Amino acid sequence: MATGDLALGHEQSNSAVVDAQQRVVNDFSIQVATVNGSGSQSANSVLLKSIFNMGVPVSGKNLFPSNIAGLPTWFTIRASKDGYVARRKKIDILVAMNAETAREDILGLHAGSVAIYDESLNLSQYRQDVVCYPVPFDKITAAVCPEARLRKLVKNMVYVGVVAHLLQIEMSSVEAALAKQFAKKQKALDLNFGAVRAGADYAAEHLSKQDPFLIERMNATAGKIIIDGNSAAGLGAVFAGVTVVAWYPITPSTSLVEATIEYLKKFRVTEEGKATFAVVQAEDELAAIGMVLGAGWAGARSMTATSGPGISLMAEFSGLGYFAEIPGVIFDVQRTGPSTGMPTRTSQADLLSTAFLSHGDTKHVILLPGSVKECFELGYAAFDLAERLQTPVFVLSDLDLGMNNWMSDPFTYPEKPLDRGKVLTAEDLNRLGGFARYADVDGDGIGYRTLPGTDHPKAAYFTRGSGHNSKAAYTEKPEDYLEIMDRLVRKFDTARTLVPAPVVTGSGKASVGVIAYGSSDFAVLEALDELRKQHAVEVDYMRVRAYPFTQSVHEFVASHERIYVVEQDRDAQLASLLKLDLAADQAVKLHSILHFNGLPIDAESILNELVVKEGL
């Protein structure tokens, strides 16, 4: 991708000297350009947590290649006193550690920004309007790291020290972050902290501060946690009592299952060393979802996680799950498509295909978490909904939410008991004398099921993806088929009342509304703040959290003149899905703001489009 979209085009000017008196405190972004596989991940994480430890709201985004070692990677850290955590287009401080991209990286900076780089790169030749801090990284590293093979890794900590000194991040904050990173590894901690100090010492002795950027202690991160969305979702599944996990590794969903496995091993092994869960790395995604449905049918709380091509492969079984009415939870951490697409870039382009995944008249319940906290909460809720509704439930997050670290309030323990849905026991069957698996006894479209192994001669029923009547017997009769298909629509309407309601901000009195979902939330909120500040325009905002849409979505559209649907895909998938639900005179109110270049959506882009479209 080069850095094309990561920074504004540069303006050449001769004003090399930046006014250091014009202080920019706790509101800027840092970009570290490295090579993947060089071990920069832990250095970037330490830098991010050092700022967090200073009490300053911070977010980090890893823009990495689909590769193991040797290709360019960028890590951006945004410090924001106002708590904005969306990607910021503008880069203020560049740490150029990758010789191959260094020229392009510095050319992409705006005037007045900062570049820290290895002195051999001589980057000052390209820009006179950027504050340049050349550092002899190899020399500093060699002095503190006698072991040559470790130098490549340790070198990264030297830039942490340089940046910490220049931004005036307290060394105790860095040390605390390091201690956490290298918990129980004293030797590694000593070595890395030595490198940080060497970097800071060098900066203190040889670099004179010429830029305005500073971190000053705040108290805005006390009690907050830092976690990625995939770990949060895995944690949600574990607290929901997941018992069977079947998966096939695929970026960016892999870390969701790996986190789940870690938590399961910690919290779900009995004193005798027996597991209260089963994890299977399946042969492919077809098998993974097959196992999920087999397990769900037999009573387990089962899940899989996938991305990109994986969700396409799950199409056939998803239709079976819908029609045979079997619970299961499918996490789809969206990445760009079509096809293989850009596996390490984010997207929201699976929404439409997931809503109707499989042939025939199939439609699915989808949950749309918009933060790491919601990855936990909806990751948990998905299991209750799947068993209550007896259907596969999809949780759609994305790479940005799933793989990046986010600051969050701690998660709240779900006190409510698990909802295992309508399951008949042998005692129930004694009382009832039998049951019809697909009959709508309660009028909510949801039948009663039994689990294999239920000790009653009338417990069994025949599950099939072929045409069946209310008693689960094979049928090709039109009236039997219609009865089942109509009931499934009633069940979907029941789902509408059970899924999480949208989150609405604004007075409700504005003439313009915005609808978005998922990780777009952060950028939308920031854009609407800017709209208010810069243009004194108030806009109402509804973040939808599930499909099928609740009644309140209709009301929101009806009560506004124009609606901008913000989403991270090319084909206006959320808007299309909304239009399917809306009356024709309401559907015409919808206009799209689309972002789909693979990078997380940013506030500036949304703001610019809103300003143009509203003629402000």
Partner 1 sequence: MATATATPTGTPGPKVNRIGLPVLEYRGGKTTLCAGCGHNAISERIIDALFEMGVQPERVMKLSGIGCSSKSPAYFLSRAHSFNSVHGRMPSVATGAVLANHTMMALGVSGDGDTASIGMGQFVHMMRRNLPMIYIIEDNGVYGLTKGQFSATADIGSKLKTGVINDLPAIDTCAMAIQLGATFVGRSFSGDKKQLLAMLKAAIAHKGTVMLDVISPCVTFNDHEGSTKSYKFMQEHDEPINELGFVPSFEEIDIEYDAGTTTDVTMHDGSHLRLRKLREDYDPTNKVASVHTLMEAHENGEVLTGLFYVEPQKPSFTDLLHLVDQPLGTQPESVTKPSAAVLQKVMAGLQ
Nearer to partner 1, 227 or 401 (CB): 227
Angstrom distance (rounded) from CA 32 to CA 239: 36
Q: Maximum CA pair distance of the chain?
A: 90
- Determine if 13 is a binding residue for partner 1 (CB under 8 A): no
Helix residue spans in 58-150 (DSSP H): 102-107, 137-144
Site size for partner 1 (CB under 8 A): 74
Residue from the set 99, 204, 298, 583 that interacts with partner 1 by CB under 8 A: 298
Nearest approach, Cβ of residue 48 and partner 1 (Å): 13
Nearest approach, Cβ of residue 413 and partner 1 (Å): 4
13, with CB counted inside 10 A (0-12, 13-18, 19+), is: exposed
Two structure tokens written together for 560 = 């506004």
User: What sign results for the dihedral spanned by CA atoms 163, 166, 167, 168?
Assistant: positive
User: What does the per-residue mask of binding to partner 1 show for 368-407, with x meaning CB under 8 A?
Assistant: ----------------------------------------
Nearer to partner 1, 5 or 316 (CB): 316
Cβ–Cβ < 8 Å for 104, 2: yes
- Residue 240 DSSP class: T
Cβ–Cβ < 8 Å for 378, 395: yes
- Determine if 235 is a binding residue for partner 1 (CB under 8 A): yes
Q: Which of 448, 460, 450 is nearest to 491 (CA)?
A: 448
- Determine if 301 is a binding residue for partner 1 (CB under 8 A): yes
Buried-exposed string 350-374: b where 16+ CB fall within 10 A, e elsewhere: bbbebbbbbeeebbbbbbbbbbbbb
- Determine if 154 is a binding residue for partner 1 (CB under 8 A): no
- Determine if 302 is a binding residue for partner 1 (CB under 8 A): yes
User: What does the per-residue mask of binding to partner 1 show for 315-334, with x meaning CB under 8 A?
Assistant: -xx--x--------------
Nearer to partner 1, 244 or 594 (CB): 244
Specify the stretch interacting with partner 1 by CB under 8 A; choose among 313-321, 483-491, 521-529, 608-616. Answer: 313-321
Nearest approach, Cβ of residue 41 and partner 1 (Å): 17
Residue from the set 299, 308, 310, 548 that interacts with partner 1 by CB under 8 A: 299
Q: What angle do CA 97, 596, 374 make, to 5 degrees?
A: 85
Nearest approach, Cβ of residue 274 and partner 1 (Å): 4
Angstrom distance (rounded) from CA 296 to CA 289: 10
User: What does the per-residue mask of binding to partner 1 show for 248-287, with x meaning CB under 8 A?
Assistant: ---------------x---xx-x--xxxxxxxx-xxx-xx
Angstrom distance (rounded) from CA 424 to CA 418: 16
Nearest approach, Cβ of residue 268 and partner 1 (Å): 7
- Determine if 290 is a binding residue for partner 1 (CB under 8 A): yes
Please state the φ and ψ torsions of residue 77, each to the nearest 5 degrees. Answer: -120, 130
Residue from the set 432, 441, 460, 580 that interacts with partner 1 by CB under 8 A: 460
Q: In which residue are the tokens 């940046």 written?
A: 163
The three-class DSSP label of residue 74 is strand
- Determine if 314 is a binding residue for partner 1 (CB under 8 A): no
User: What does the per-residue mask of binding to partner 1 show for 415-444, with x meaning CB under 8 A?
Assistant: x-xx-------x---x--------------
Residue from the set 56, 238, 303, 539 that interacts with partner 1 by CB under 8 A: 238
Residue 78 CA to its chain's centroid (Å)? 17
Nearest approach, Cβ of residue 316 and partner 1 (Å): 6
Residue from the set 42, 463, 475, 597 that interacts with partner 1 by CB under 8 A: 463
Two structure tokens written together for 612 = 């143009």
- Determine if 295 is a binding residue for partner 1 (CB under 8 A): yes
Nearer to partner 1, 60 or 212 (CB): 60
Cβ–Cβ < 8 Å for 5, 599: yes
User: What does the per-residue mask of binding to partner 1 show for 210-229, with x meaning CB under 8 A?
Assistant: -------------xxxxx--
Please state the φ and ψ torsions of residue 443, each to the nearest 5 degrees. Answer: 80, 10
- Determine if 410 is a binding residue for partner 1 (CB under 8 A): yes
Two structure tokens written together for 579 = 């239009």
- Determine if 598 is a binding residue for partner 1 (CB under 8 A): no
- Determine if 549 is a binding residue for partner 1 (CB under 8 A): no
Cβ–Cβ < 8 Å for 166, 160: no
